[in-house]
Structure 1
Amino acid sequence: MISIMKDKSLKIEALRKRLDQVEAELADTLQRMPAHGIKTSFMAGLLDLEDERDRLMGEIKALTSGSP
């Protein structure tokens, strides 16, 4: 039981660390975004980061919602 809780805790920690990285990348990308003439590849990268952020947040929520 303790091993399972430790594994869960480590997974949550890793997910939060990756979430911090993704949010930093998102902030950097938004700063570099031009006011006009946004290229499709730039927008696709931004959307991919947002999707990953949302996925990570969902995983963290799912893992923490069952915690006592």
Structure 2
Amino acid sequence: MDEMDAMTEEKRKLKERLLELEEQIAETKRRLPAHSVKPPVMMDLLALEDERDLVLERIERLRGA
């Protein structure tokens, strides 16, 4: 596997992870009550969004490479 194939494979895996994260974020948002948001649920949501942002940054860096 050459460097280009490795980058393509990494991009594919990152895009798969991005889809998983988007699904998890949507599910977590559905669990948020309209009032009295529970801190653990909010912490889950923030952690998922942070990871999603990191994955997006990595994908962008690979596009520029």
TM range (shorter): over 0.9
1:32 CA displacement: 1.6
Distance, in Å, in 1 between the alignment partners of 2:39 and 2:5 is 42
Runs of at least 4 residues of structure 1 off by over 2 A? none
TM-align CA RMSD: 1.0
Distance, in Å, in 2 between the alignment partners of 1:17 and 1:64 is 16
Structure 2: runs of 5+ lacking an equivalent: none
Distance, in Å, in 2 between the alignment partners of 1:27 and 1:45 is 12
**Could you tell me the TM-score, scaled by structure 2's length?**
0.94
Count of residue pairs the alignment pairs up: 65
Structure 1: runs of 5+ lacking an equivalent: none
Where relative contact order (Cα < 8 A, 6+ residues apart) is larger, the structure is 1
